Structure 1
Amino acid sequence: MSFDEFKESVLPYRATDEPLLYKKSELRERFHSILSMEGTDKITVPIERYKMYILKQQRISYYTERKNNLELYDLFLPSTEFNCHNQVTWTANLFRACGIPVCYEFTPQWPDRENRHFWNASPDSTGIYIPYSTPQNNLKEDWDEHLKYAGKVYRRTFGINKQAPYFLKAPKEVVPEILSLPTLQDETYRYHQTVSLELPFTASTHNRLAYLSYITRSGIVPVAWGEINSCAEKAVFHQVPLSMTFILSYYEGDSLKTVGEPFRLVSLKYIEDTPQPLTARENASALSLSWNGADLLCAEDKDVENGISYREYRCDTTRYMDMLLYRKYPLKPHLLKLHKQLKGAYVLARNKLHDHYDTIAVLSETPKPDWQTVTVKNTKRYRYFILATANRRPLNIAEIEFWGYDTSSPQGTDDMQKLEMKAAETYWNAIDEDAETFISAPTMEFELECPAVIKEMKFIPRTANNMIVAGNLYSLCYFQDGIWKEFERKKAKDGSLSFKNVPAGGVYILKNLDYGKEELPFLYEGGKQIWISQ
Structure 2
Amino acid sequence: MKKLLHFFILLCMTTGIANSCKESGLDRSLSQAGNNRKELEAVLRHYRNAPLKLQAARFLIENMDAHYGFGGEAVEEYYHAMDSIFRHGKGDRTYWNRQYDSILAQVGTGLDSCMSVPLFDIEHIKADFLIAHIDSAFAVWDRNWNRQYSFDMFLRYVLPYRIGHEGLSLWRGEYPLPQEEEEDYNRNTFNTNFVYGVAHATFLGMQPWIYYANRELPDFPLGQLKHIKAAICREYAHLNVASFRAQGIPATVDFTPQWGNRAMGHEWCVFFINNETAIPFEMGQPVGCHFMKRKEDRLPKVFRETFEIQTNSLFMQDKGKESLPRIFNTPYLIDVTNQYIETSDVEVDLYPMETNQSSGYAYLAVFDNQTWKIVHWAKISRGKALFTDMGRDIVYLPVYYMEDKIIPAGDAFLINAQGEKEILKPDTTKTNTIKVKRKYRDIKANNFLRDIAGGKFQVANRKDFSDSVTLYIIPRLNDNCFQDIRPQEKGKYKYFRYLPPNGSRGNMAELYTFDEKGDTLHPIHFMGNSLSLPEHDMKTLADGDVLTYYEAENAENIWYGWEYSHPINISRIIFLPRNDDNFIREGETYELFYWNHNGWFSLGKQKGNFESELAFSNAPLHALFWLHNHDKGTEERIFTYENERQIWR
Provide the C-alpha distance between the structure 2 equivalents of 1:489 and 1:417, rounded to a whole number of angstroms: 33
With structure 1 as the length reference, what TM-score do the two structures score?
0.73
Equivalent residues of 2:364, 2:374 under 8 A apart: yes
Cα displacement (A) at 1:43? 4.0
* Identical pairs, percent: 24
Task: Quote how far apart the aligned CAs of 1:422 are.
Answer: 5.7
- SS of 1:149 mapped into structure 2: coil
What code does the residue aligned with 1:499 have? F
Match of 1:254 in 2: 404
Match of 1:11 in 2: none
Aligned twin of 1:507? 624
- Alpha-carbon separation, structure 2, partners of 1:99 and 1:483: 51
Is the CA contact 1:212–1:225 (under 8 Å) kept in the aligned structure 2? Answer: yes
2:165 paired residue number: none
User: CA distance change for structure 1 residues 310 and 71 in 2, over 3 Å: closer, same or farther?
Assistant: closer
* Cα shift readout 1:259-291 (whole Å, capped 9, x = no counterpart): 2210112245xxxxxxxxxxxxxxxxxxxxxxx
Please, what is the CA RMSD of the aligned residues? 3.0
For 1:352-371, what aligned pairs fall within 5 Å after superposition? 352-353=462-463, 356-360=466-470, 361-365=472-476, 368-371=479-482
Give the conservation status (yes or no) of the 8 Å contact 2:298–2:394: no
1:175 to 2:324 alignment: yes
Structure 1 distance, partners of 2:258, 2:502, is 37
Q: How does 1:95-244 map to 2 (within 5 A)?
A: 95-123=244-272, 128-136=277-285, 138-145=287-294, 148-169=297-318, 171-201=320-350, 203-204=352-353, 206-229=358-381, 232-244=382-394
Provide Cα deviations, 1:453-487, integer angstroms capped at 9, x if missing partner: 23443322111111111111111122234322322
Which is richer in helix? 2
User: For residues 259 and 143 of structure 1, what CA distance do their matches in structure 2 show?
Assistant: 35
2:587 to 463, 467, 471: 471
Structure 1 residue 54 corresponds to structure 2 residue 177: no
Given the superposition, is the C-alpha separation of residues 136 and 253 from structure 1 closer, same or farther in structure 2, using an over 3 Å criterion?
same
Where 1:257 maps in the other structure, the secondary structure is strand
What secondary structure does 2:245 align onto?
helix
**Which range moved further: 420-429 or 85-94?**
420-429
Distance 1:403 1:43, change over 3 A: farther
Deviations 1:83-122 (A, max 9, x none): 1111111121012213444321111112233322111223
1:371: how far off? 1.8
Distance 1:480 1:364, change over 3 A: closer
Q: Secondary structure at the match of 1:451?
A: strand
Q: How does 1:375-394 map to 2 (within 5 A)?
A: 376-394=487-505
Gaps of 5+ in 2: 1-190, 210-219, 527-534
Change (3 A) 1:393 1:470: same
Matches within 5 A, 1:215-364: 215-229=367-381, 232-268=382-418, 308-333=419-444, 335-353=445-463, 356-360=466-470, 361-364=472-475
Task: Quote the residue 2:634 is aligned against.
Answer: 517
**Cα gap change, 1:445/1:213 in structure 2, threshold over 3 Å: closer, same or farther?**
same
Deviation of the 1:179 alpha carbon: 2.1
Distance change in 2, residues 1:339/1:202 (3 Å):
closer
The alignment partner of 1:249 has SS state of strand
Alignment partner, residue 28 of structure 1: none
Instruction: Decide which of 509, 522, 527 is 1:398's aligned counterpart.
Output: 509
CA contact (8 A) 1:471 1:493 kept: yes
- Alpha carbons of 1:44 and 1:422: their partners in 2 closer, same or farther (altered >3 Å)? farther
User: Does the CA contact (< 8 Å) of 2:366 and 2:374 recur in 1?
Assistant: yes
| Contact map agreement 2:259 2:297 (CA 8 A) in 1 | no
- SS of 1:515's equivalent? coil
Q: CA deviation at 1:194?
A: 0.7
- Tell me how many residue pairs correspond in the alignment: 431
Q: Partner of 2:201: helix, strand, or coil?
A: helix
Q: Does the aligned pair in 2 maintain the 1:170–1:208 contact within 8 Å?
A: no
Aligned equivalents of 2:428, 2:434: Cα separation in 1: 15
Change (3 A) 1:337 1:145: farther
Structure 2 residue identity aligned to 1:319: K
Q: Distance in 2 between matches of 1:40 and 1:370?
A: 50
Does residue 420 of the first structure (1) align with residue 522 of the second (2)?
yes
Counting strand residues as a fraction of each chain, which structure ranks higher? 1
Q: Assess, with a 3 A threshold, how the Cα gap between structure 1 residues 147 and 128 changes in structure 2: closer, same or farther.
A: farther
Partner letter of residue 236 of structure 1? L
Instruction: Verify the 8 A CA contact 1:109 1:223 in the aligned structure 2.
Output: yes
1:439 aligns with 2:550: yes
| 1:450 alignment counterpart | 566
In 2, Cα distance between equivalents of 1:194 and 1:76: 39
Equivalent pair of 2:315/2:329 in contact (CA under 8 Å)? yes
Asked if the contact 2:437/2:613 (under 8 Å) is kept, the reply is yes
SS of equivalent to 1:54: coil
Paired with 2:414 and 2:394, the residues of 1 have a C-alpha distance of 5
- Bigger shift: 130-139 or 246-255? 130-139
Which residue type is aligned with residue 152 of structure 1?
A: K
2:614 matched residue in structure 1: 497
Describe the shift of the 1:217–1:82 C-alpha distance in structure 2 as closer, same or farther (beyond 3 A): closer
Partner of 1:526: 643
Any gaps of 5 or more consecutive residues in structure 1? 1-38, 59-68, 269-307, 406-414
Contact 1:403–1:416 under 8 Å retained in 2: yes
Structure 1 residues 178 and 434: alpha-carbon distance in aligned structure 2, compared to 1, 3 A threshold: same
Code of the aligned partner of 1:397? M
Q: Is contact 1:348–1:357 with CA below 8 Å preserved after alignment?
A: no
State the AA in 2 paired with 1:419: L
1:27 corresponds to which residue? Answer: none
- Structure 1 526/353 Cα, relative in aligned 2: closer, same or farther at 3 Å? closer
